[in-house]
Amino acid sequence: MKKIIGLAFLVAATGSYADSVTGKYSKEDAVVEISETKGGVNFEISSVVDQSSCNVSGTAKIIDAHRAAWTPDDPENQCSIVINFKDNNNLTVTTKDCFYYCGVAAGESMDGDYKKTASESVERYPDNVDFNAAALMMYSSYIGYQNGVAAMYDKEESCWKEIGSDLNHAKYCVAASLAGGIIEAGYARQEGRVSAPNYQPDAMKNRIVERMKQHGFSEDETNSARDYVGLNAMKVIAGLANAGMR
């Protein structure tokens, strides 16, 4: 069986028809998307831990019948990622020295075993939040003012004040908070500093719990909102890219 899978993987990667490894794979706190290309596999990995995130993408080169490996072009960046295709529905990601791509609390959250997700159930919740709008709101606030963190925080607080009892609106505010954390973590890394206090992981998590409690949401509803945004973290990241963040 393993030999058959390995041959299918190699056929796909050399450009012949085969799609056994293409798809979206997930674990509790992360998602990886895979598509075959000649000589390797394109991948994008996103993970979220307590409002901190990791995100990295590239083309991993085949190193044997079951594994593909990636390192960045920058020789000073020591990150390495190995993707091990166990069978048609399961893979393992192993990373080393990839903290450049992660927020403070996310650490090695990309590592682990992933299971292919059926296309009809990629998302556990309906897609009823405008992630692009949440990302744009936060990014435009960050870059549009001298004190971008304060402006971003004010926008997020305005969002929380308007939610009433609307759980979908609450999810939008959670998405905005995550976008803010990603924005601030990204610029903090570039500038060689830590994230501002309001956008450190524990502060973000506590703020979400407190704000939702203030509006009468149950613990289960709070957890469902956080889970929903976590599962769709790639859409927040895509929204930031659409907004112009690089």
Residue that terminates a domain, selected from 121, 155, 189:
121
Q: How far is residue 78 from each of residues 72, 205, 225, measured CA to CA in Å?
A: 8, 31, 35
Is residue 51 one of the residues assigned to a domain?
yes
Is residue 230 one of the residues assigned to a domain?
yes
Is residue 216 one of the residues assigned to a domain?
yes
Asked whether the predicted pLDDT for residue 90 surpasses 70, the reply is: yes
Q: Do 224 and 201 fall within a single domain?
A: yes
Answer for the pair 6, 21: CB distance below 8 angstroms, yes or no: no
Confidence of residue 114 (pLDDT cuts 50, 70, 90): very high
Q: Do 20 and 42 fall within a single domain?
A: yes
Q: Do 96 and 150 fall within a single domain?
A: no
Q: Do 7 and 114 fall within a single domain?
A: yes
Is residue 8 one of the residues assigned to a domain?
yes
| pLDDT reported for residue 13 | 41
Q: How far is residue 128 from each of residues 46, 105, 124, 156, 202, measured CA to CA in Å?
A: 20, 28, 12, 19, 26
d(CA 55, CA 7): 30
* The token pair that represents 22 in the structure block: 């293409």
Confidence of residue 15 (pLDDT cuts 50, 70, 90): very low
Q: Do 140 and 223 fall within a single domain?
A: yes
Is residue 10 one of the residues assigned to a domain?
yes
Is residue 223 one of the residues assigned to a domain?
yes
| pLDDT reported for residue 51 | 64
**H or E element, residue 86:** strand 80-87
* The token pair that represents 88 in the structure block: 């048609």
Q: Residue 206 is part of which domain span?
A: 131-243
Q: Do 8 and 117 fall within a single domain?
A: yes
d(CA 195, CA 147): 13
Residue that terminates a domain, selected from 54, 86, 121:
121
Tell me what percent of the residues of the chain surpass a pLDDT of 90.
42
Q: Do 143 and 194 fall within a single domain?
A: yes
Residue that terminates a domain, selected from 121, 141, 168:
121
Q: Do 177 and 106 fall within a single domain?
A: no
The average pLDDT across 103-115 equals 84
Q: Do 52 and 95 fall within a single domain?
A: yes
State the CATH number of the domain containing residue 38: 2.40.128
Confidence of residue 35 (pLDDT cuts 50, 70, 90): confident
Confidence of residue 7 (pLDDT cuts 50, 70, 90): very low
Nearest to 21 by CA among 46, 43, 47: 43
Confidence of residue 20 (pLDDT cuts 50, 70, 90): low
Is residue 209 one of the residues assigned to a domain?
yes
pLDDT in tens, 122-172: 343 445 789 999 999 999 999 988 889 999 999 999 999 988 888 999 999
Q: Do 7 and 91 fall within a single domain?
A: yes
d(CA 118, CA 120): 5
Query: 57-81 as b/e, with b when 16 or more CB fall inside 10 Å?
Result: ebebebeeebbbbbbbeeeeeebeb
Is residue 126 one of the residues assigned to a domain?
no
Total domains present in the chain:
2
**H or E element, residue 112:** strand 112-116
Q: Do 111 and 190 fall within a single domain?
A: no
The residue assigned the tokens 């924005």 is 183
Q: Do 103 and 11 fall within a single domain?
A: yes
